[in-house]
């Protein structure tokens, strides 16, 4: 069962506020830190906090500079699980993923932020933790180490080795600076095993001198 008590897709709202942001994805049971400063999204957070604390993260499919850029079809509804306000009026929030959704249509909205009608049905399995997932953790670790070394990043290897499988795959998928289409492919992977396979391929590609799979 979801940590927030959502047992089935119909437990979630059909209309949600949406936050389009390139490169920002969150997975079910994963976390995303957000720094909110635009007035329309400060308004969105205020409204969400007064309601079910739910917002939908989704990537734009076009020019983010446009007033209302086209959107990808699949995003994730998340719940605000921590909130802080800075002295200069920004909000620092942690969004914890609940379930992926597919936009069925954008909803007319009187709010300054966008809203959409969504369906969760095809992602109903997101509401339960995966059991007995088989992935090649050694291959994932090796690919991550080559990627980190190639780009001069730092990693807490004790945390990597001790992390539960789902948390590890989703954290690496979220934190690595892949481009937007790659991030979207990871988000839309049907199973955790599929996501892990795609993640390993991206890490290996990112560590190769010519940008190709080794």
Question: pLDDT per residue over 87-121, tens digit each?
Answer: 999 999 999 999 999 999 999 989 999 999 999 99
Sorted by where each begins, the domain ranges of the chain are 9-127, 137-207
Superfamily per CATH, domain 9-127? LON domain-like (2.30.130.40)
Asked whether the predicted pLDDT for residue 22 surpasses 90, the reply is yes
Question: pLDDT per residue over 169-194, tens digit each?
Answer: 999 999 999 999 999 999 999 999 99
Asked whether the predicted pLDDT for residue 67 surpasses 90, the reply is no
SS3 content of the chain, % helix, strand, coil (to 5): 35, 25, 40
Give the pLDDT band of residue 213 (cuts 50, 70, 90): very low
Question: pLDDT per residue over 47-64, tens digit each?
Answer: 999 999 999 999 999 766
Q: How far is CA 113 from CA 45, 154, 176, 210, in A?
A: 10, 37, 28, 41
């Amino acid at each position: 069962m979801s940590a927030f008590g959502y047992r089935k897709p119909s437990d979630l709202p059909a209309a949600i506020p949406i936050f389009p942001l390139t490169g920002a994805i969150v997975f079910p049971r994963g976390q995303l830190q957000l720094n909110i400063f635009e007035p329309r999204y400060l308004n969105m957070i205020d409204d969400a906090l007064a309601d079910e604390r739910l917002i939908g993260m989704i990537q734009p499919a076009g020019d983010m500079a446009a007033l209302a850029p086209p959107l990808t079809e699949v995003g994730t509804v998340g719940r605000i699980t921590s909130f802080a306000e800075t002295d200069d009026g920004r909000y620092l929030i942690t969004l914890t993923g609940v379930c992926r959704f597919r936009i069925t249509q954008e909803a007319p909205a009187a709010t300054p932020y966008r809203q959409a009608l969504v369906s969760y049905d095809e992602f109903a399995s997101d509401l339960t933790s995966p059991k007995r997932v088989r992935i090649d953790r050694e291959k994932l670790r090796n690919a991550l180490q080559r990627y980190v070394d190639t780009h001069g990043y730092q990693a807490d290897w004790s945390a990597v080795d001790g992390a539960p499988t789902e948390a590890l795959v989703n954290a690496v998928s979220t934190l690595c600076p892949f481009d937007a289409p790659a991030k979207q492919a990871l988000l839309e992977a049907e199973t955790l095993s599929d996501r892990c396979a795609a993640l390993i391929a991206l890490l290996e590609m990112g560590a190769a001198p010519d940008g190709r799979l080794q």
